[in-house]
């Protein structure tokens, strides 16, 4: 059975591949070895996960802050009979 990738996993994989390519292209050709490729691949994946997790944490915290501010500023509706 094939393991299906979640949307987030797909995004992480795409970004990790793009980051790997960017890092790989920055290395002089004479330093491009199998070992450096493996190291860059691992680093690109770990860095991508770190950045996305931190972004999501900060985004969610900011959203919660805005939500709590909105709750304080929004008056309760009054029912007029």
Would you say residue 64 lies in a domain?
Answer: yes
Would you say residue 27 lies in a domain?
Answer: yes
Would you say residue 22 lies in a domain?
Answer: yes
Would you say residue 31 lies in a domain?
Answer: yes
pLDDT band with cut points at 50, 70 and 90 for residue 76: low
This prediction has a pTM of 0.73
Would you say residue 1 lies in a domain?
Answer: no
The mean pLDDT value for 10-34 works out to: 96
Range of the domain at 21: 7-73
Would you say residue 21 lies in a domain?
Answer: yes
Would you say residue 26 lies in a domain?
Answer: yes
Would you say residue 33 lies in a domain?
Answer: yes
Model pLDDT, residue 21 = 98
**Structural domain tally of the chain?**
1
Q: Over the chain, what HEC string results?
A: CCCCCCHHHHHHHHHHHHHHHHHHHHCCHHHCCHHHHHHHHHHHHHHHHHHHHHHHHHHHHHHHHHHHHHHHHCCCCCCCC
Model pLDDT, residue 1 = 43
The mean pLDDT value for 39-67 works out to: 94
């Amino acid at each position: 059975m094939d393991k299906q990738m979640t949307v987030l996993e797909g995004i992480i994989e795409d970004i990790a591949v793009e980051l790997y390519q960017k890092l790989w292209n920055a290395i002089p050709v004479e330093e491009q070895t199998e070992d450096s490729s493996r190291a860059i691949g691992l680093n690109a994946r770990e860095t991508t996960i770190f950045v996305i997790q931190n972004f999501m944490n900060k985004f969610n915290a900011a959203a919660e802050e805005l939500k709590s501010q909105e709750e304080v500023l929004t008056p309760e509706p009054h029912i007029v009979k």
